[in-house]
Amino acid sequence: MSKKVLQFKLDNENFCMDIEKIEEIVESEELTNIPNSNKYVEGVMDLRGKVTKIINPKHLLDVDNKNNLGDFVIVFENNKESIGWIVDEVKSIIDISDENINKHMATNQDNVNGVISVNNEFFVLVNPIAT
How are beta strands 50-55 and 81-87 bridged, if at all? parallel
How far is 5 from 95, CA to CA, in rounded Å?
Answer: 6
pLDDT at site 57: 93
pLDDT at site 58: 93
Write down all domains in the chain, each with its CATH number in brackets.
Answer: 2-130 (2.40.50.180)
How far is 102 from 110, CA to CA, in rounded Å?
Answer: 15
Does pTM surpass 0.85? Answer: yes
User: Is residue 106 pLDDT above 60, yes or no?
Assistant: no
